[in-house]
């Protein structure tokens, strides 16, 4: 029997995303409110003697995900093994349901799921130190390792404060047929601002208590600059608002956009009107548990 763990790697949206000062390293600080969705990849991690990664599923790009060693899930497992001396090897299986390159944190979700799975299996778990392992992997990965469905993040995403999760609501993701490289999005923000760097904001009390409160602070600094070379982004946000979305924004640095609704909308009609594919899901008020198992292989 093989020691294994399974977990749903939940996608995320950013209810607030502000790009702050550029550090001497070239990275920008951010201020963001992360929110998990029910939409998720399925991740299984087995303790083995070698190292492998297998990805499949309906959201897999036709040309694959590139070199295994560059995949965030693989890098997360390697980082865990290097930091703790365990396990000797791992086999990771990912069923992709989160669109790749859409700003929904799919790769980061897989990485966070792998770290949580390995820690659940480890004879010497490191618990809170997972965030430290996650930080070098990307700004979204630390959030994907914590047990909070909603959190304020700042710095490079590694500084996190839990927030009350707003009530679960139906959400629609619109997915255009292009992606936005994250470095390009940051470059466009920097070019627009020049030397100006905004300060962090002060969130009002109860900013995530309900969706009416969220709507008052919802914003994404990438949305305007991404919409210049890709005007369809603004059009998709307008489609969601016209359909009654309480909150509609670009997802992360794009290219997907999301809308949160009080009641389930006609997603098929929205997709037809917008001329893109749509995914229906819900915002989540819980983090999927890691389930340990003993498998035959």
Distances (CA, A) of 147 to 131, 161, 228: 11, 11, 37
Least confident of 5-9, 184-188, 230-234: 184-188
Distances (CA, A) of 9 to 37, 168, 284: 10, 17, 12
Residue 205: what pLDDT? 84
Residue 30: what pLDDT? 86
Which pLDDT band, with edges at 50, 70 and 90, does 10 fall under? very high
Residue 157: what pLDDT? 74
Any catalytic annotation for residue 96? Answer: no
Is the backbone peptide bond immediately before 225 cis, with ω within 30 degrees of 0?
Answer: no
Residue 81: what pLDDT? 97
Which pLDDT band, with edges at 50, 70 and 90, does 102 fall under? very high
Least confident of 4-8, 69-73, 78-82, 155-159: 155-159
Catalytic residue among 41, 110, 140, 221: 140
Percentage of the residues of the chain whose pLDDT score is greater than 90: 79
Asked whether the beta carbons of 130 and 118 are under 8 A apart, the reply is no
User: What whole-number distance in Å separates Cα of residue 247 and Cα of residue 218?
Assistant: 7
Query: Higher pLDDT residue, 111 or 26?
Result: 111
pLDDT digits (tens, 9 = 90+) for 47-62: 999 999 999 999 998 8
3-state secondary structure of 253: coil
Determine the straight-line distance between the first and last CA of the chain, rounded to whole angstroms. Answer: 7
Residue 23: what pLDDT? 67
**Alpha-helical regions (H) of the chain:** 72-84, 106-121, 130-134, 141-145, 182-193, 211-217, 221-227, 232-242, 267-274
Which pLDDT band, with edges at 50, 70 and 90, does 156 fall under? confident
Query: Higher pLDDT residue, 294 or 287?
Result: 287
Domains of the chain: 2-163 (3.30.230.10), 170-282 (3.30.70.890)
Has residue 166 got a pLDDT over 60?
Answer: yes
Residue 64: what pLDDT? 82
Residue 252: what pLDDT? 95
Query: Higher pLDDT residue, 201 or 207?
Result: 207
Give the mean pLDDT of the chain: 93
Which pLDDT band, with edges at 50, 70 and 90, does 242 fall under? very high
Which pLDDT band, with edges at 50, 70 and 90, does 297 fall under? low
């Amino acid at each position: 029997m093989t020691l294994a763990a399974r977990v749903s790697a939940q996608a995320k949206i950013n209810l607030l995303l502000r790009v702050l000062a550029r550090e001497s390293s070239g990275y920008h600080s951010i201020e963001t409110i992360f929110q998990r969705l029910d939409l998720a990849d399925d991740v299984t991690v087995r303790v083995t003697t070698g190292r492998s990664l297998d990805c499949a599923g309906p959201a897999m790009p036709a040309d694959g995900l590139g070199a295994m060693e560059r995949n965030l899930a693989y890098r997360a497992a390697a980082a865990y093994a290097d930091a703790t001396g365990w396990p000797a090897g791992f086999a990771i299986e990912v069923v992709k349901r989160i669109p790749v390159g859409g700003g929904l944190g799919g790769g980061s979700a897989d990485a966070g799921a792998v770290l949580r799975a390995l820690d659940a299996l480890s004879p010497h778990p490191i618990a809170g130190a997972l965030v430290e392992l996650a930080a070098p992997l990307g700004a979204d990965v630390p959030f994907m390792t914590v047990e909070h469905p909603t959190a304020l993040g700042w710095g490079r995403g590694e500084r996190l404060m839990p927030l009350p999760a707003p009530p679960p609501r139906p959400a629609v993701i619109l997915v255009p047929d292009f992606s936005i490289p994250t470095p390009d999005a940051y470059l466009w923000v920097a070019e627009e601002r020049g030397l100006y760097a905004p300060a962090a904001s002060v969130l009002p009390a109860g900013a995530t208590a309900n969706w009416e409160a969220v709507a008052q602070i919802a914003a994404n600094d990438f949305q305007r600059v991404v919409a210049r070379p890709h005007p369809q982004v603004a059009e998709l946000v307008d489609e969601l608002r016209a359909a009654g979305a309480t909150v509609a924004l670009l997802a992360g640095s794009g290219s997907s956009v999301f809308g949160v609704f009080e009641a389930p909308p006609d997603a098929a009609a929205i997709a037809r009107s917008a001329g893109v594919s749509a995914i229906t899901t819900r915002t989540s008020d819980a983090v999927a548990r890691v389930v340990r198992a003993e498998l035959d292989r």
